[in-house]
Amino acid sequence: MMRVPFETLVHQFEQVLQSRGMHEEDAKLCSHLVAETSAEGVYTHGANRFAFMVRMIDDGLIDVRAKPELTASFGALERWDGKQGVGNLNAYASTKRAIELAKQYTIGCVALAHTNHWMRPGTYGLMAAEADCIGMLWTNTLPLMPAWGGVDAKVGNNPLVLCIPCKDGPVLVDAAMSLFSYGKLETYAREGRSLPVPGGYDSEGNLTTDAGKILASKRPLPIGFWKGTSLALALDLIVSVLSGGNTTRQLGLMGKETSVSQLFMAISLSSLPDRDRIEAEIHASLEDIQKSEAADAGVSVRFPGQMRRKIKEENLREGIPIDESVWQEILNL
């Protein structure tokens, strides 16, 4: 593992993206979003996933010049077409629009069709929190998990983000519907490490901590067992209905994770008359959580997202941790 300065990472990303025809300003924003993801410690969906995005550009699955277009408006709900554009740029624009709608209607919702992998979804939840909004967003994916009781992949792992603003720092839940995200499985497999707990089945149907075998079988364990696959299905159907876009089933027929459907919802807390009471109760709840008796000595109980700022400060000071093989792959682009 090596450390790369944040500015070096951003510059390298910009060079690669501009060499693929992306406008300079778009390349700057896209690069900053990817680098910031790694800076905040979400390495699986930052630099580790950059080469994947570039391969999709090279394969013609991402149009670096495309911009999302409004296709229908229903007051606080709007439908947009991502035009096969860059996933994190489409998501950034959709979140901004959802926040604008929330400031007008208290609740704002953008349903986005025909877009691409959004990289780290928690980024957009944090955008909402910075605007004093609750952020709720999710995406569908290729079929990546069997329905409960099945063997062949039929449902996506459909990541869901819930983000709540608070003076203690945003509460950020960013979770795939599989116990380990595919990005996390890929990291464990690349580094040759075993998962801390069984994360899925091998091709013979045995529970395993071998990430490579789980990737090969496409049988990761869902969160909450049958509840996880049920939630994944519901998220898929809701997002495709609201956006008018593809379902996981349709993505499976296409065979490539492109033209996915996503939803971005913002709820403006500053529009509510009891904003101060809300803030006080959120703070009290987080304080109560942190007073929990720890199950293991020396380990404190934290709320989701609490370590984000500390990790970012350390990485900006000392450099972004990145696997040497990943960095070389990025340089080769």
Task: Report pLDDT digits (tens) over 209-263.
Answer: 999 999 999 999 999 999 999 999 999 999 999 999 999 999 999 998 899 999 9
**Phi and psi of 177, rounded to 5°?**
-85, -5
Q: In whole numbers, what is the pLDDT of the chain averaged over residues?
A: 96
Question: pLDDT confidence of 51, banded at 50, 70, 90?
Answer: very high
Assess whether pLDDT exceeds 90 at residue 301.
yes
| pLDDT of 128 over the 90 cut | yes
Res. 299: pLDDT tops 90 = no
Return phi, psi of residue 272, to 5°.
-90, 140
Phi/psi-derived region of residue 193, left when phi > 0, alpha when psi is between -120 and 50, beta in every other case: beta
Strands (E) in the chain, as ranges, are 2-4, 69-74, 77-81, 107-115, 133-139, 145-146, 153-155, 160-164, 171-175, 200-201, 207-208, 260-268, 320-322
pTM of the model: 0.95
Residue bearing tokens 């608070």: 166
Number of domains in the chain: 1
Q: Which of 23, 45, 114, 283 is catalytic?
A: 45
- pLDDT, residue 290, reads 93
Specify if 41 maps to a domain. yes
Confidence of residue 183 (pLDDT cuts 50, 70, 90): confident
Helix (H) or strand (E) holding 172: strand 171-175
Band (pLDDT 50/70/90 cuts) for residue 296 is confident
* C-alpha–C-alpha distance, residues 229 and 139, integer Å: 14
C-alpha 170/C-alpha 308 separation (Å) is: 9
- Cα separation, 50 vs 64, in Å, equals 14
Determine the straight-line distance between the first and last CA of the chain, rounded to whole angstroms: 20
Mean pLDDT of the region 277-304: 92
Both tokens of 176, joined, read 């795939």
**Is residue 11 in a domain?**
yes
pLDDT at 168: 87
Query: Do the domain assignments include residue 305?
Result: no
Residue 154's contacts (CB-CB under 8 Å, 6 or more residues apart) are 143, 145, 146, 147, 248, 249, 252
What is the distance between the alpha carbons of residues 245 and 157, in angstroms, rounded to a whole number?
Answer: 17
User: Is residue 88 included in any domain, yes or no?
Assistant: yes
> What average pLDDT score do residues 103-117 get?
98
Are 143 and 133 in contact by the 8 Å Cβ rule? The answer is no
The token pair that represents 85 in the structure block: 């554009």
Q: In this structure, what CATH number is given to the domain that contains residue 150? A: 3.30.1370.60
Percent of the chain with pLDDT over 90: 95
Whether 307 is in a domain gets the answer: no
Lowest mean pLDDT among 32-36, 41-45, 114-118, 293-297: 293-297
The pLDDT score that the predictor gives to residue 331 is 97
- Any domain includes 290: no
Domain that holds residue 163: 2-178+222-271+318-332
Mark whether 45 is an active-site residue. yes
Query: What integer pLDDT is reported at residue 282 of this predicted model?
Result: 95
